Amino acid sequence: MHTITYHTAYDHQLTATQHHAIRALLDEAFADEFSDEDNDHASGGVRVIAMDGALIVGHAVLVARTITIAGTACTVGYVEGVAVVPARQGQGIGAQIMRQITDMAQRDFDIAMLSTGKFDFYAKFGWQRFAGESFVDDHGTIIRTAAEDEGLMLLTPLSHLNQPGVQWVCDWRTGEVW
């Protein structure tokens, strides 16, 4: 077994073969529930990739999104595509990836977010449950996305923003808006 190495990369720094390998990893880890829209959401950011030799065994990406918080448009770091290949889960790879993503998020953004059902996993790295109210700006119409509130997590020192009644409005995108 090789030592796992961790790398950061922008999309243009990866080969087509590596992009295909990441997609295959995400399809496998999410049991084929990773959609083309999800894949689009994982594009354009900084990826953290875990490699076992030449094999990609883990991945996450930090992308920039505009979220309007209490009326102010903010650039937020949004985490997508967190996955470890099933055969290598439970070996600390996901934790190492999330430590790097969390460090990057704290360095580069005042606020970072993600959407998950695996709260305990992210809580280990300091992520907190979302306490505000989520909305989407659907081409100019602001629509409440109440069902999304529960899955959102946050990383920010600006704790006054993570309070009941504070409105968080994401820009519309295809697929899952949050």
Ligand X SMILES: CC(C)(COP(=O)(O)OP(=O)(O)OC[C@H]1O[C@@H](n2cnc3c(N)ncnc32)[C@H](O)[C@@H]1OP(=O)(O)O)[C@@H](O)C(=O)NCCC(=O)NCCS
How far lies 61's CA from each of 13, 114, 124, in Å? 14, 11, 18
Quote the least distance from Cβ 142 to ligand X, whole Å.
26
Return the residue nearest ligand X (CB atom).
94
Which residue, 42 or 69, is less far from ligand X as judged by CB? 42
In the numeric block, the tokens 């990057």 are attached to: 104
Residues engaged in binding ligand X (CB under 6 A):
29-30, 82-84, 89-95, 116, 118, 120-121, 124
Which residue, 32 or 120, is less far from ligand X as judged by CB? 120
Quote the least distance from Cβ 36 to ligand X, whole Å.
17
DSSP state of 30: T
Which residue, 71 or 117, is less far from ligand X as judged by CB? 117
Quote the least distance from Cβ 94 to ligand X, whole Å.
2
Q: What's the rounded Cα separation, in Å, for the pair 44 and 51?
A: 20
CB atoms within 10 A of CB 73: 11
Q: Which residues contact 86 (CB under 8 A, 6 or more apart)?
A: 28, 29
Quote the least distance from Cβ 137 to ligand X, whole Å.
24
Which residue, 70 or 119, is less far from ligand X as judged by CB? 119
Contact 88, 66 (CB under 8 A): no
